[in-house]
A and B are shown apart, each in its own frame.
Chain A
Amino acid sequence: MFRVTQSDLADPVTSSLSRTGESPRANEPVLANPAPPIVTIRSLTKTYASGLQALKSINLDIRKGEIFALLGPNGAGKTTLISIICGIVTPTAGQLMADGHDILRDYRAARIKIGLVPQELTTDRFETVWQTVTFSRGLFARAPDPAFVERVLRDLSLWDKRKSSLQTLSGGMKRRVMIAKALSHEPNILFLDEPTAGVDVELRRDMWALVRRLRESGVTIILTTHYIDEAEEMADRIGVINKGELILVEEKTTLMKKLGSKRLTLVLQEPMKTIPDALAEWNLKLQSGGNELAYSFDINAEHTGVPSLLRRLTDLGIGFRDLATSQSSLEDIFVSLVSERGGRP
């Protein structure tokens, strides 16, 4: 397993992935100064020969240097969207620009800027790690640069495996090889399609750390996932796609503020059988066998109702030993969004 530490981040090997002239964008407040779009999608539709309408007039801007998470249930259109931008699937209508280049008319210039890590671990069995990464660099029109390939392999902890044939590698190692292949031609837009699907917890954390380091080196990252926690953990912005429609695009923090609700849990001194009528206006729920009283409230509301609830409890002589608040997770938001549209999360 490869581990990422602070010292790794300062490592010249890591920083070598940066291109000259591009400043690190780590911790840069995206909201305060939104970067210009690096990927522009306008009125994109895709209808397969079977008649399935996979994408319905998608409009989306991906900002330079951000981590954008495309969230959606299986079959929502995530992979179709990525595949169209990368040239694997032909769009039915619409316009797509990658780093200022039309992906159809000016496909060479567009594709040279893009790296893709597909969901499936598709590798040649008999090639070595070194051969397959070198192959990818050449395929993407880059002159041989063994020093750069070495840095990519070292950065992904693949250097020791460079002479191993791909069939001997574990699933986690193969996924890293796929990433190395995608990075071999120094792209500045990286698509990660379900990067942690089917990987263990440790590798998942490693992947997250790697993605952050890539972003710090100036790479714009678009990842698809149906793991909510992955989007919550990593993304600057989130797009929710369902049944081919982009339901929502929002800053992650704004999204959670806008749609999030908080939950106040009071641990009662004495268990309660029913909620007194005097507390009816707060929409309370009893839980843990009557030992806890739960109150959901909108954090953006002018009056959350929390102080008045606490005063009323004191007036009624209902004591509590402890209280805790929790923010609703992105998962709650996602479930509610998709359910509203009649989809299944």
Chain B
Amino acid sequence: MNEPAFNRYGVLAIYRFEMARGLRTIWQSLVTPVITTSLYFIVFGSAIGSRMTHVGGVSYGAFIVPGLILLSIFQQSIFNGAFGIYMPRFIGTIYELLSAPISPPEIVLAYVGAAATKSIVLGLVILATASLFVPLHVLHPFWMIAFLVLTSVTFSLVGFILGIWSKSFEQMQFIPMLIVTPLTFLGGSFYSIDMLPPTWRTVAYFNPVVYLISGFRWSFYGKADVGLEVSLGATLVLFFACLAIVSWMFKTGYRLKS
């Protein structure tokens, strides 16, 4: 039998495996983020938000929705992307992946595709949950979906890189907890960058998450801290940087092959 140019059965096998793992851990991957997000709405949206003025003409409860969605997407994309490739390394089943007639782009497509799918579903579920708390209107649905997909894929790639880099579970949790979450909180999830003092505003522009949240929020309300092109460009730069790192990892066999 001739080998196929594209191993679609291999990609599907990994994708289904990862999606099945997501279903097995649905409490962790879907229900927990929804509950956490609901708590954010209760605390920030209702308790604190009721005492705050509108932000750029949008009620505070509605204003934080895009940031809250992205916060969960960042965390879950990284976790799912990392866990998917780290587990075979950890338990030893990576031998099968490395010995299979499947190319590095196909492996990335399968693992990152599955992680991103789960994140997109999660994002839409959180959006639906949010609509129970605050009146929502998405001004640019196409861009909202585009940012949702691009952010999910990019951060799943970040997770995939993390999963290959990590030597332990501790290392795998280190990056999301100590780097991504602070960047997200400081990146305008709960406030507009304009609300910061000038110095901190300048510092904030070095935070790549600012651009992601700004672009995503623009798709909802048509208002942003930075321009759409800048947001899109920053997201794409991050995406291609991740692709380059993954490509280097497979080319050199970094922590995959000896």
Q: Which residues of A are in contact with B by a Cβ distance under 8 Å?
A: 48-49, 86-90, 107-112, 114, 116, 118, 120, 122-127, 131, 134-144, 181
- Can you list 21 contacts pairing A with B, beta carbon distance less than 8 Å? A48-B258, A88-B99, A89-B258, A90-B253, A90-B257, A108-B103, A109-B2, A109-B101, A111-B99, A120-B92, A122-B93, A123-B91, A124-B91, A127-B17, A136-B13, A136-B96, A139-B13, A139-B100, A141-B102, A143-B9, A144-B9
Asked if A49 contacts B9 (CB within 8 A), the reply is no
- Chain B residues with Cβ below 8 Å from A86 are 95, 98-99
B82-105 CB mask vs A (1 if < 8 Å, else 0) is 000000000111011111111100
Asked if A124 contacts B93 (CB within 8 A), the reply is yes
Asked if B93 contacts A123 (CB within 8 A), the reply is yes
B1-18 CB mask vs A (1 if < 8 Å, else 0) is 111100101101110110
Asked if B258 contacts A138 (CB within 8 A), the reply is no
Cα-based distance from A48 to B258 in the complex (angstroms) = 7
Interface centre among B1, B7, B21, B99 (most CB of A within 10 A): B99
Cα-based distance from A244 to B2 in the complex (angstroms) = 34
- Chain A residues with Cβ below 8 Å from B13 are 134-139
Contact status of A138 and B10, CB under 8 A, knowing A48-B258, A90-B257: yes
Asked if B101 contacts A122 (CB within 8 A), the reply is no
A89 to chain B, nearest CB (A): 6
Cα-based distance from A278 to B257 in the complex (angstroms) = 65
Asked if B101 contacts A111 (CB within 8 A), the reply is yes
Cβ contact of B102, chosen from A89, A137, A139, cutoff 8 A: A139
Interface centre among A111, A123, A139, A181 (most CB of B within 10 A): A139
Cα-based distance from A88 to B3 in the complex (angstroms) = 19
10 tightest Cβ-Cβ pairs between the two chains A and B: A138-B13, A122-B92, A108-B101, A111-B101, A86-B99, A138-B9, A108-B3, A141-B7, A139-B100, A112-B101
- Chain A residues with Cβ below 8 Å from B101 are 107-112, 140-141
Cβ contact of A118, chosen from B3, B95, B102, cutoff 8 A: B95
- Chain A residues with Cβ below 8 Å from B2 are 109
B121 to chain A, nearest CB (A): 21
**Interface check B24, CB cutoff 8 A:** yes
Q: Which residues of B are in contact with A by a Cβ distance under 8 Å?
A: 1-4, 7, 9-10, 12-14, 16-17, 20-21, 24, 91-93, 95-103, 253, 257-258
Asked if A112 contacts B96 (CB within 8 A), the reply is no
A121 to chain B, nearest CB (A): 9
- Chain B residues with Cβ below 8 Å from A138 are 9-10, 12-13
- Chain A residues with Cβ below 8 Å from B4 are 108, 141
Cα-based distance from A181 to B12 in the complex (angstroms) = 17
A165 to chain B, nearest CB (A): 11
- Chain B residues with Cβ below 8 Å from A143 are 9
- Chain A residues with Cβ below 8 Å from B7 are 108, 141
Nearest B residue to A89, CB-CB: B258
Contact status of A88 and B257, CB under 8 A, knowing A109-B101, A114-B99, A141-B101: yes
Cα-based distance from A127 to B87 in the complex (angstroms) = 14
Nearest B residue to A123, CB-CB: B93
Nearest B residue to A138, CB-CB: B13
Asked if A126 contacts B258 (CB within 8 A), the reply is no
Asked if A140 contacts B91 (CB within 8 A), the reply is no
B199 to chain A, nearest CB (A): 46
- Chain A residues with Cβ below 8 Å from B14 are 139
A161 to chain B, nearest CB (A): 19
Nearest B residue to A143, CB-CB: B9
- Chain A residues with Cβ below 8 Å from B91 are 122-125
B162 to chain A, nearest CB (A): 21
- Chain B residues with Cβ below 8 Å from A136 are 13, 96
- Chain B residues with Cβ below 8 Å from A140 are 10, 100-101
- Chain A residues with Cβ below 8 Å from B92 are 118, 120, 122
Asked if A116 contacts B258 (CB within 8 A), the reply is no
Cβ contact of B97, chosen from A109, A110, A139, cutoff 8 A: A139
Asked if A88 contacts B100 (CB within 8 A), the reply is no
Asked if A116 contacts B102 (CB within 8 A), the reply is no
- Chain A residues with Cβ below 8 Å from B102 are 139, 141
